């Protein structure tokens, strides 16, 4: 069991108005046209979905304030209302329990970020193009979706834009077709994908291959403004080695390809999407100043993207493991060891309030620095308790068992226990469920 259907019938405790747990989507087909100058998006979203265990008279999608042309369910016109970020749809006749159904929404408008406690999220108009970074609830800014991390689906996205622009979307580029002054880019992401992990970038980029796919089997591409070629080439030069290391430590890379985009603007933080990571110009300095972030975003392809949290309460499983991957890369590439980095993180946390529980940080602390640092320390404490051989076996087994599925903290605790010579419940009680700061965990050589 990979946990794929965990939590299908309960709302996310941190975002109860996001998503509809009474059904699940297994495929999205988005056919979009975007004009950057007026910032106008028009398109059709087709969703293939399956009803849960009870008949549905109506259902909802999360969607921003677009003009709706029409809505059809199973090819028939459906009644709908769009209010407060919710598109409520009433089919011509009720949908039976466990029935497969399709939804088609035609829409147009000026996309903009949705408001959140962390500022605007989702579709962002840039000076010269656009960018989508949706974590955690920005996906409805540009397409109607069942916006909950546990509802993972395949995607096919067609996007038409002026030919001067390049379109990068996570997944495989199937076709690129130019007609007159526009080009249509068709991408396919067959792996189950959470709505927040559908990322894209529209801009004027130069493209370069990273590494040799023959070495690790993963095609890696970089897309960046031409003026950053020299700096980009240095800053991302070691990404192929990271890919090789993480496949050794975490198991096979879970997707068909990996792309990184540096957009020609500064971003507060880089953002991961499925098979794609987005960076700003401020993350490229020609001196590998942000290399730990390159490692962090790559690690999310295993922890967060393939193995996804069932709801946002468990986000430490994404961020703690990706943060620890930074330490592992540093340790294995000639930098400071994980023990040294753990001591530094512990020293940092010692000067901050001790009122955050990894197992339930609360919505406002989902992206608190303490969650990242304490999360990595919790993983280090497990490594110290298990020893290297059992620890890395447990991580490879975790990514294998739950590949493309959804997980919880409880599932992770039960999994790690299977690899431990003695119980590790005290590690979880102190580091994951508690709030006080335990002593620095120490690796025994």
Indicate the DSSP class of residue 94.
Answer: P
Q: What is the pLDDT of residues 356-386, one digit of tens each?
A: 999 999 999 999 999 999 999 999 999 999 9
Q: What's the pLDDT at 444?
A: 80
Q: What is the pLDDT of residues 8-60, one digit of tens each?
A: 457 899 999 999 999 999 999 999 999 999 999 999 999 999 999 999 999 99
C-beta separation of 354 from 312 below 8 A: no
Q: Which among 283, 306, 329 is the end of a domain?
A: 306
Q: Which among 288, 306, 324 is the end of a domain?
A: 306
- Distance between CA atoms of residues 198 and 418, nearest Å: 34
CATH number at residue 106: 2.60.40.1730
Which of 10-14, 228-232, 280-284, 369-373 is the least confident region? 10-14
Q: What is the pLDDT of residues 184-217, one digit of tens each?
A: 999 999 999 999 999 999 999 999 999 877 666 8
Residues 131-158 have a mean pLDDT of 97
Return the number of other C-beta atoms located less than 10 Å from residue 445's C-beta: 5
In a domain, 441, yes or no: no
| Domain co-membership, 277 together with 320 | no
For the sheet with 220-224, list strands across it: 206-209, 220-224, 258-262, 276-279, 271-273
* pLDDT exceeds 90 at position 295: yes
| Domain co-membership, 22 together with 69 | yes
In a domain, 427, yes or no: yes
| Domain co-membership, 229 together with 342 | no
In a domain, 439, yes or no: no
| Domain co-membership, 85 together with 135 | yes
- Helices 316-332 and 369-386 meet at what angle, rounded to 10? 70
165: nearest Cα among 35, 261, 283:
35
The domain of 372 spans: 308-433
Angle at 229 between CA 224 and CA 230, to 5 degrees: 145
| Domain co-membership, 186 together with 250 | no
* pLDDT exceeds 60 at position 4: no
In a domain, 296, yes or no: yes
| Domain co-membership, 220 together with 167 | no
Residue 389, exposed/middle/buried by CB under 10 A (0-12, 13-18, 19+)? exposed
* pLDDT exceeds 90 at position 159: yes
| Domain co-membership, 198 together with 239 | no
Q: What's the pLDDT at 79?
A: 98
Q: What's the pLDDT at 7?
A: 43
* pLDDT exceeds 60 at position 174: yes
Q: Which among 161, 183, 202 is the end of a domain?
A: 202
| Domain co-membership, 14 together with 84 | yes
Angle at 239 between CA 231 and CA 332, to 5 degrees: 120
In a domain, 444, yes or no: no
Angle at 48 between CA 44 and CA 53, to 5 degrees: 140
* pLDDT exceeds 90 at position 220: yes
Confidence grade of residue 411 (pLDDT, cut at 50, 70, 90): very high
Strands (E), 84-199: 86-90, 100-109, 122-126, 129-133, 153-162, 166-169, 172-179, 182-193
Q: What percent of the chain has pLDDT over 90?
A: 94
In a domain, 438, yes or no: no
* pLDDT exceeds 70 at position 1: no
| Domain co-membership, 118 together with 223 | no
In a domain, 443, yes or no: no
**DSSP element (H, E) containing 348:** helix 338-350
In a domain, 356, yes or no: yes
Average pLDDT, the chain: 95
- How many domains does the structure of the chain reveal? 3
| Domain co-membership, 103 together with 56 | yes
- Distance between CA atoms of residues 377 and 375, nearest Å: 5
CA of residue 397 relative to chain centroid, distance: 21
- Distance between CA atoms of residues 121 and 246, nearest Å: 29
CATH number at residue 212: 3.30.2010.30
CATH number at residue 378: 1.10.390.10
Q: What is the pLDDT of residues 313-357, one digit of tens each?
A: 999 999 999 999 999 999 999 999 999 999 999 999 999 999 999
- Distance between CA atoms of residues 181 and 179, nearest Å: 6
Q: What's the pLDDT at 211?
A: 82
Indicate the DSSP class of residue 113.
Answer: P
Phi first, then psi, for residue 401 (nearest 5°) are -60, -35
| Domain co-membership, 323 together with 197 | no
| Domain co-membership, 106 together with 126 | yes
Q: C-alpha distances in angstroms, 309 versus 33, 406, 423?
A: 32, 5, 24
55-90 burial, b at 16+ Cβ within 10 Å, e below that, comes to ebebbbbbbbebebeebbbeeeebebebeebbbebb
Phi first, then psi, for residue 230 (nearest 5°) are -65, -50
């Amino acid at each position: 069991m990979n946990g794929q259907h965990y939590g299908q019938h309960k709302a996310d405790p941190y975002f109860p108005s996001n998503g509809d747990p009474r059904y699940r989507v297994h495929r999205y087909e988005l056919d979009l046209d975007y004009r950057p100058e007026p910032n106008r998006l028009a398109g059709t979203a087709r969703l293939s979905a399956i009803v849960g265990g009870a008949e549905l008279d109506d259902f909802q999608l999360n969607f921003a304030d677009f003009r709706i042309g029409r809505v059809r369910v199973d090819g028939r016109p459906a009644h709908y209302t769009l209010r407060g970020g919710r598109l409520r749809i009433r089919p011509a006749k009720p949908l039976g329990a466990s029935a497969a159904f399709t939804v088609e929404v035609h829409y147009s408008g000026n996309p903009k970020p949705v408001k959140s406690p962390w500022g605007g999220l989702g579709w962002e108009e840039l000076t010269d193009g656009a960018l989508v970074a949706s974590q955690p609830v920005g996906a409805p800014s540009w397409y109607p979706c069942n916006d909950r991390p546990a509802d993972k689906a395949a995607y096919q996205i067609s996007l038409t834009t002026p030919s001067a622009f390049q379109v990068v979307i996570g997944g495989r580029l199937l076709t690129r077709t130019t007609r007159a002054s526009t080009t249509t880019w068709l991408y396919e992401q067959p792996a189950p994908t959470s709505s927040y992990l559908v990322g894209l970038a529209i801009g004027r980029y130069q493209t370069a291959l990273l590494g040799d796919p023959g070495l690790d089997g993963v095609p890696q591409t970089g897309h960046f403004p031409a003026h950053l070629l020299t700096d980009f080439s240095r800053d991302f030069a070691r990404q192929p080695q990271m890919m090789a290391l993480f496949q050794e430590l975490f198991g096979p890379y879970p997707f068909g390809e990996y792309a990184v985009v540096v957009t020609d603007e500064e971003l507060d933080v880089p953002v991961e999407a499925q098979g794609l990571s987005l960076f700003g110009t401020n993350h490229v300095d020609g001196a590998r100043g942000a290399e730990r972030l390159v490692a962090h975003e790559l690690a999310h392809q295993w922890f967060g993207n393939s193995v996804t949290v069932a709801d946002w309460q468990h986000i430490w499983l994404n961020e703690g493991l990706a943060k620890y991957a930074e330490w592992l890369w540093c340790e294995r590439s000639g930098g400071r060891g994980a023990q040294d980095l753990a001591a530094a993180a512990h020293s940092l946390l010692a000067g901050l309030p001790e009122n955050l529980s990894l197992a339930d940080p609360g919505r406002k602390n989902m992206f608190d620095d303490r969650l990242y640092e304490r999360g990595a320390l919790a993983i280090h404490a497990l490594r110290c308790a298990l020893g290297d051989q059992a620890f890395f076996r447990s991580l490879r087994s975790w990514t294998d068992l739950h590949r493309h599925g959804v997980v919880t903290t409880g599932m992770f605790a039960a999994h790690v226990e299977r690899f431990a010579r003695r119980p590790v419940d005290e590690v979880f009680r102190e580091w994951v469920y508690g709030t006080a700061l335990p002593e620095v965990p120490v690796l025994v050589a």
